[in-house]
C-alpha cells in the first residue's frame, strides 16, 4: 500500500562494481517490478546521459540533469509531489495498426517493430499531461477518412489497485491535394516531433 521512490544522484560513470549499462538498467527494471520507482539526476559535465536515461526509463521514473545546485530543490519537490499525487501505476501504451499501416514506431521509446508497437510509461500523477509521437508508414489507396487502428492505454489505480483502460481510434483524412495537406499541418506537433527526434 505504499509508493516507494529511489532518486539516484550521480555522474553516471559506472566505474566500480556492476559497470554494464544494460545490467544496471535491468536492476532498475527489477526494482520497478517490485514496486519501487527509480529516478536519476545527472551531475557534472561528463555525466553518462544514455545510462541515466535508461535507468530512469527502466525504473519507471524521470531523468534530470542538474547544472546548478539550486535546481535540486525543485527536482526533489517535483519528485515528492509526484509520489504523493500518483494516481496511476504500471501504465502501458500500445498502438495496433490495421491493414493500411505498413509499419509503426513510437518515437523516444524502445519498442517492437511492425504494425503493433508498445511501451511502458512511468507513473502518472494528478493533473499531469503526456504526449506520444507515432510515426506511421501508411498505404492509402483513396481520399477521405481513413481508420488506421487504435491506441490503447492500460494502468493500475495507485490507491485501489483496480485496472483501467482507454481505447482511442486513430483516424486521418487522406488527400492528394498538397496545398490542403500543408494547410492542415499542426506547427506545435511539428516542433514537438523535431524535439523528440
d(CA 134, CA 7): 30
Contact 43, 11 (CB under 8 A): yes
Query: Tens of pLDDT along the chain (197 residues)?
Result: 566 788 888 887 777 888 888 898 889 988 887 778 889 998 877 778 888 888 888 887 888 888 888 888 888 888 887 777 778 888 899 999 998 999 998 887 766 678 899 988 877 777 677 788 888 899 988 888 999 999 999 998 887 889 999 999 999 998 888 898 888 888 888 887 777 66
User: Where is 52: in which H helix or E strand?
Assistant: helix 49-58
Identify any residues that bridge with 136 across adjacent strands, giving them in sequence order.
Answer: 104
User: Where is 119: in which H helix or E strand?
Assistant: strand 116-121
C-alpha cell recorded at residue 104: 509503426
d(CA 195, CA 133): 11
Residue showing cell 523528440? 196
Q: Please give the C-alpha separations between residue 130 and each of 32, 36, 93, 124, 137, in angstroms, as whole numbers.
A: 20, 21, 12, 9, 23
C-alpha cell recorded at residue 139: 498505404
Which 3 state secondary structure label does DSSP give 183? helix
Query: How far from each other are the two terminal CA atoms of the chain, in whole angstroms?
Result: 38
Pairing mode of beta strands 86-97, 144-157: antiparallel
Pairing mode of beta strands 86-97, 60-65: unpaired
d(CA 159, CA 138): 40
Does the pTM exceed 0.85?
no
Amino acid at each position: 500500500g505504499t509508493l516507494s521512490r529511489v532518486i539516484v544522484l550521480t555522474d553516471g560513470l559506472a566505474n566500480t562494481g556492476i559497470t554494464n549499462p544494460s545490467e544496471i538498467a535491468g536492476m532498475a527494471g527489477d526494482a520497478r517490478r517490485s514496486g519501487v520507482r527509480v529516478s536519476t539526476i545527472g551531475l557534472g559535465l561528463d555525466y553518462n546521459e544514455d545510462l541515466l536515461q535508461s535507468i530512469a526509463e527502466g525504473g519507471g521514473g524521470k531523468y534530470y540533469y542538474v547544472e546548478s545546485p539550486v535546481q535540486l530543490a525543485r527536482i526533489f519537490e517535483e519528485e515528492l509531489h509526484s509520489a504523493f499525487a500518483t494516481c496511476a501505476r504500471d501504465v502501458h501504451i500500445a498502438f495496433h495498426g490495421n491493414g493500411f499501416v505498413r509499419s509503426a514506431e513510437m518515437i523516444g521509446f524502445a519498442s517492437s517493430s511492425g504494425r503493433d508497437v508498445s511501451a511502458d510509461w512511468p507513473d502518472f500523477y494528478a493533473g499531469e499531461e503526456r504526449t506520444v509521437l507515432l510515426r506511421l508508414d501508411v498505404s492509402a489507396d483513396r481520399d477521405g477518412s481513413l481508420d488506421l487502428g487504435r491506441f490503447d492505454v492500460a494502468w493500475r489505480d495507485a490507491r485501489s489497485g483496480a485496472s483501467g483502460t482507454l481505447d482511442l481510434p486513430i483516424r486521418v483524412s487522406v488527400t492528394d491535394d498538397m496545398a490542403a495537406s500543408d494547410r492542415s499541418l499542426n506547427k506545435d506537433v511539428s516542433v514537438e516531433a523535431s524535439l523528440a527526434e
